[in-house]
Amino acid sequence: MTKHLWDRLNEAKARLEPVQSQYRVLFENPEDLDAPASVLVPDPNWMAAALAGGVLPPIDTYQRDQGVADGQPKEHPYAAPMGAMTEEEAIEYLVMKDVPPQVWRDYKGNRCIMKIVPVEMIPTDRSFRNAWKINQEMELA
Amino acid sequence: MSTLNVANITDGTDTVETGYVVNGSAKAFFSNSQTSIDESLNISSIVDSGTGLIQGFYTSAMASANNPLTSGNNNVASGGAHNYSTGFSGASSATHYFIEREYADGTAVDVDRVSGATLGGLA
């Protein structure tokens, strides 16, 4: 019988060293053009579990659970865990789990509204944080 | 791994039902700045959505969007003499929001650290 996801997370936290990702996900909300760009920061314990494998459920269980009403039984805590991911695959998994679908799946416009960037590219000066937008100047090969 | 399956726990004097222990333990906890996570359980990511705005995502969802969440913050490195308030809300059982505001005028501000814990049942 598969252990509950929360039990697996507890066990993984005791066993695995946290892994601070070197990447961040920058994204803009296409439904609120005035909002500043958001920055997704992967959790180091979650990243360690993703890289080790045997802890996290398949991403499609979360996607099916998004349609489940609050308080009703969900699939992802009881799903069999998947294998190890690379850091790139783990970031893609996080995008599908924690970034709104209108950003990574449904947007059809020309503006670049999501980028996966090295952490060094995130400004440390937050003086004008609420004016942050994704730079649209792309280098062409 | 062995499992104790007991209804009560006692120290010889006081006895409590194990349900108190299970239900009273934190189902997620976190200590993070606006841009990094230092200590956590059951968190997959945080999203910095602007000055003073942080959204956290649970790896294993809560039973309800109304699960109790306790939190605090400090701003020592940036001048802790000010007072800050941390508001939070659960938009769903999969996430929580923090909004940090200056106590005096309600202005959203970045604080050095937000920490908290979510209790109650799991999905």
Q: Give per-residue pLDDT as tens, B102-118.
A: 777 778 888 888 888 99
ipTM exceeds 0.90: yes
Q: Are B65 and A70 in contact (CB under 8 A)?
A: yes
Q: Give the structural domain span for A67.
A: 5-123
CA B54 to chain A, closest CA, distance in angstroms equals 10
Chain B residues within 8 A of A35 when measuring between CB atoms: 49-50
Note the Cα A80 to chain centre separation in Å.
20
- With respect to residue A135, please indicate whether it lies within any of the assigned structural domains: no
Segment 74-103 of chain B within 8 Å of chain A by CB? 92-95
CB of B42 within 8 Å of a chain A CB? The answer is yes
**pLDDT at residue B2, rounded to an integer:** 75
The answer to whether residue A11 is domain-embedded is yes
Q: Which residue of A has its CA nearest to B58?
A: A98
State residue A119's pLDDT score.
94
Quick one: pLDDT at residue B1? 63
| Phi/psi of residue A140, nearest 5 degrees | -100, 135
Interface check B119 vs A, CB under 8 A: no
Taking alpha carbons only, the member of A2, A57, A7, A75 closest to residue B22 is A7
Whether residue B85 has pLDDT greater than 80: no
Q: Whole-model pTM?
A: 0.90
Residue B18 forms contact with A (CB below 8 Å): no
> Which residue of A lies nearest to B111 if distances are taken between CA atoms?
A126
* B66-77 average pLDDT score: 79
Specify which of B15-19, B25-29, B84-88 reaches the highest per-range mean pLDDT: B25-29
How far out from the chain centre does Cα A48 lie?
14
pLDDT, position A99 = 97
Q: A65 or B75: which carries more pLDDT confidence?
A: A65
CB contact under 8 A, B44 and A40: no
Q: A9 touching B, CB under 8 A?
A: yes
Q: Report how far residue B114's alpha carbon sits from residue B31's, in angstroms, rounded to the nearest whole number.
A: 6
Please report, for chain A, how many H helices and E strands are present, in that order.
5, 3
pLDDT score for B71: 83
Q: Which residues contact B115 (CB under 8 A, 6 or more apart)?
A: B29, B30, B31, B32, B39, B71, B72, B73
Nearest by Cα to B111 from A126, A39, A133: A126
Q: Does B107 touch chain A (CB under 8 A)?
A: no
B47 → closest Cβ in A56, A65, A98: A98
**A45, B43: Cβ pair inside 8 Å?**
yes
Per-residue model confidence (pLDDT) at position B19: 77
User: Of A132, A109, A134, A15, whose CA–CA distance to B50 is shortest?
Assistant: A132
pLDDT at residue A133 in the model? 95
Q: Which residue of A has its CA nearest to B90?
A: A70
The alpha helices in chain B, defined as continuous H runs, are: 18-24
pLDDT band at B47 (very low <50, low <70, confident <90, very high): very high
Tokens in use for B84? 């800050």
Q: CB of B61 within 8 Å of any CB in chain A?
A: yes
Cβ pair B44, A94 in contact under 8 A: yes
Tens of pLDDT along chain A (141 residues)? 789 999 999 999 999 999 999 999 999 999 998 999 999 999 999 999 999 999 999 999 999 998 898 888 999 999 999 999 999 999 999 999 999 999 999 999 999 999 999 999 999 999 899 999 999 986 555
Domain definitions of chain B by residue range:
27-118
